[in-house]
Amino acid sequence: MNPRYPFILFALLFSLGWLNAQAISGTITSAATGEPLPYASIYVPETGSGTVSNENGRYQIKLGPGNYTLVFQYLGYATERRQVRSGGQRLDVELQAESFDLETIEVVDGGEDVSYSVIRRAIAKADYHLNQVDRYTAQVYIKGTGRVKKVSKLVMAMVPKEDRDEIDTNRVFTSESLSNITYTRPNTFEQEVLSTYQVGDAPVDATPYLFASFYEPLVADAVSPLNPKAFGYYRFEHQGLFNDNGRFVNRIKVTPRSRGEDVFSGYLNIVEDEWAIHSLELEAYKFGFRFGINQTYAPVEDKVWMPVTTTVDVSGGILGIKLEGNYISTVSDYDVTLNPDLPGYVEVIDEKTNPDQAAVVRKENRTKGYENRLADGGELTRKELRRLMRDYEKQERESAEEPKVESNYSFKQDSAKGVRDTAFWAELRPVPLTPLEKRSYAIEDSIAIADSLVRTEEQDEDGRTVTISIGEDGTDVSTSGTKGNSRIRIFPHLDFFNPVEGYALGLRLRKSLGKLGKGKNLNLELNPRYGFSWKRGTLDGKLSYHTRKKTNRFGIELEGGRSLRQYDPDEAMDPLVNTFTTLLSHENYLSWYERAFGSFRLNVTKGPELNYYGKIGYEDRRRVSNTTDAGWLNTGEGDYDANEPIVLERFMPLTPLPDLAPAATIELGASWQPGLRYRIDNGKKEPIENSAPTLMLQYFGGVPNVGDSEADFHRIQASYQHKFEIGVRGDVSLMVRGGAFLNNEAVQLPDYRHFATSEIFYTNADPIGSYRLLPYYTYSTREHYAEFYGHYQFRKFLLSRIWKLHKAGIREDIFVNYLYTPESDHYTEVGYTIDNIFRIVRVEFVTSFQDFKYRDFGVRLSVASIFGR
């Protein structure tokens, strides 16, 4: 494929029109066994069109008047060419098993299999093939079919009756689509949807593999066998040569050095001398699902091989539900414009297997200069070609309008033409439906007819209509009438108890006050709450204005009111979790103070890589005490611990906290991601996750003599955070953060530097940036401090070496967390994690040390890191 074609993903579910043409159809079978060959490729060189057989080996292809050559291909079988004349006819084809020339297999000096030389030259030429085509247009037909294959009785019992149709094993998802696509080098794709039809929702998304280019280093985050570092991931074995229409093709067996996710296994067929992909049959595992990828290429121009058919089979399961799916892509009507910078044919010399010839070529190129070889053609060593292609791509990136953009995809669909019925698709589709797919369409059509018979509309001409809808993310109260529409979102406060308020009732009300123009929004949020034991109510609110123009954003937030707040402004613990620890175990971990406050915050985003903000605020702070010792269990244990955090740095440790005082504060911050890379999707610029580190600088200040403010301090803080791969073995996540109080003349406890941690068995704190066994508030500081968080996730370690566990998604981490403050005694945590258990659970085993001596051991349970908290 040219290869940057992969980024089209999902959207390419559309294209083409073989209307007014006659169909040639039949069945493709194995000559040896008579068994049908599913997803065999059929290609028509005269039109550049292609299709595939369905899972029963049946095919059909529609052609205009004239004579044509049909090329039938199936991996492991010899290519068959048939001359046909247009018109409705049946043509059954038997394919012979491929005859491999095993005598040509050689072992080079040192015992190396000849496949390694083939792969080295294919890797060297991968970038060449990526840049070979300057522009192309084509039509793409895609069909996807999937279903729930099996559901455990436990899962079925947990699903409400009204939702069980969604996991019915007899219900099939089917989609068909047709698109015109245009690719412009190096990374621009345009898609025009011509028609689409869909029944149900896809159980598994296979599009990252369906539109994959194996010339790229990564395919759906898996390492391509043509990755420059492929020899660290794979072993290769030459299975022989076969002849395809006068071209010799190398059949290479691909075996991962370490079985697991994000690597491929199977077969890769490489054209001799051209070192282009002829076809492939590979499989990979992701999140416990198996993805089987078959791809067939054809020469659409001299020495230009492009994909004509791709199939992806998916199977796997999660939480007692087994799923399967099949996706087919056929590409036709290629119109190719070659890159004028690469007109010559380049022959690649492998230095390792042909050292004498390579020496002659290097000498000749040094004498004559090899810089023009890309344009003039001729012989180049592998290293020379790779160096030239790297320089060529670097020059192109530097001259590009947006050099940091890795892909630019745009999508256009005419809503009047896009969705077509089954009658239209019966005339259009190049791949016959299977009986299961026909049944799916019949059910969908009957449902559509029934819906059209029972659908009614009512309208009250004078009054207003009130609609209340309750969903997982809140309750919507909508009103509509002749004077306009209104909508309020209501979210209940789920934390309904703490020792200060007792049982409490609270709501969060959110209302949009309207759009003030394109990309400009004004919103109001109110938070009323009442504590029954405290016998007091609180109310605070926020008025926010946000505007967005392309990648730049601007926001203003005004907040104010009276409320309870944790001494740690970032919340030492989730109040909902603390609700249940207090009621069930009579243990309270949170400490609160009351504030009457007002604040103004300004947020500015200059593209995703640069963000900065400023905030000024004023708080009238007051201490509060516990008002209840209520609980559900163990009620005889007496009062809760006092609402006074223990902080070692206080002047007189373990004495009561001094009264709080009013404080005027200021906060400034900026974050920067240098070198951040992007993809553009329909004009929207999106950053590529983990493509750059995040650097952050912050200032926190207390300003005395503003009103009754007694705060007087200056604190600065800097941090570095990044996630990256280290070779073959795993991923590293790092955060380093440090800071100091330049002036701590008057620092109240809410203004200390507090550290995220968890003292209970369950934690929802991000593993990167939080401790696991550190006591709440004990080491909070108003001095200098340094933090380090390092996590390493193995590709395989102990349990993940067991294939069934690895396939089920089990991952293992080790981590080290470190804290330095004047009182922390070099606090250190070392831990081991079993992650992604049942794909939702993470269990951590943690040991802590102080002054490098054992301190404590604990186990923590949290949500699997795959959910990206």
For residue range 788-843, what is the model confidence (pLDDT) as tens digits? 999 999 888 899 888 888 888 889 999 999 999 999 999 999 999 999 888 889 99
Note the pLDDT of residue 454.
39
**pLDDT higher than 80, residue 207:** no
- In this prediction, what percent of the chain has a pLDDT beyond 70? 80
Q: How confident is the model at residue 165 (pLDDT cuts 50, 70, 90)?
A: low
Q: Lowest mean pLDDT: which of 82-91, 248-257, 618-627, 670-679?
A: 82-91
Gap between the Cα atoms of 628 and 582, Å rounded: 11
Of 311-315, 418-422, 440-444, give the range with the top mean pLDDT.
311-315
pLDDT class for 17, splitting at 50, 70, 90? very low
User: What pLDDT sits at residue 765?
Assistant: 87
Position 452 confidence tier, pLDDT thresholds 50, 70, 90: very low
Using DSSP's 3-state secondary structure scheme, residue 243 falls into: strand
Lowest mean pLDDT among 419-423, 450-454, 473-477: 450-454
Comparing 104 with 340, the larger pLDDT belongs to 340
Query: In this predicted structure, what is the pLDDT of residue 427?
Result: 52
**Which residue, among 114, 262, 372, has the nearest Cα to 806 in the 3D structure?**
262
The closest of 569, 587, 563, 567 to 577, measured between CA atoms, is 587
Q: 3-class secondary structure for 649-706?
A: CCCCCCCCCCCCCCEEEEEEEEEECCCCCEEEECCEEEECCCCCCEEEEEEEEEECCC
CA dihedral defined by 364, 365, 369, 371, rounded to 10 degrees? 160
> Can you give the pLDDT at residue 22?
66
What is residue 852's DSSP assignment? T
Average pLDDT over residues 524-551: 91
What sign does the dihedral 393-394-399-400 (CA atoms) show? positive
pLDDT tens for 843-864 read 999 999 999 999 999 999 998 8
Average pLDDT, the chain: 82
The per-residue DSSP string of 753-813 comes to B------SSB--S-STT--SSPPTTTT-BSS-EEEEEEEEEESSSSGGGSHHHHHTT-EEE
pLDDT, residue 283, reads 94
d(CA 426, CA 65): 21
Each residue of 306-337: pLDDT tens digit?
888 888 988 887 767 788 888 888 888 888 99
Q: Is the pLDDT of residue 16 over 50?
A: no
In the predicted model, is pLDDT for residue 415 greater than 60? no
The full length of the chain comes to 869
Helix or strand (DSSP H, E) at 382? helix 382-399
| Cβ count within 10 A of residue 521 | 16
d(CA 298, CA 46): 12
Confidence of residue 2 (pLDDT cuts 50, 70, 90): very low
Structure token digits, residue 579 = 């609700």
DSSP, collapsed to helix, strand or coil, labels residue 345 as coil
- Which residue ranges make up each domain of the chain? 1-338, 340-403
- The amino acid that residue 819 corresponds to is L
The Cα 619–Cα 625 span in angstroms is 19
Ranking 151-160, 496-505, 716-725, 830-839 by mean pLDDT, the lowest is 151-160
Whole-Å CA distances, 304 to 1, 301, 786: 9, 5, 57
Summarize pLDDT for 94-114 with one digit per residue, the tens. 998 877 665 444 545 556 888
More confident residue, 544 or 245: 544
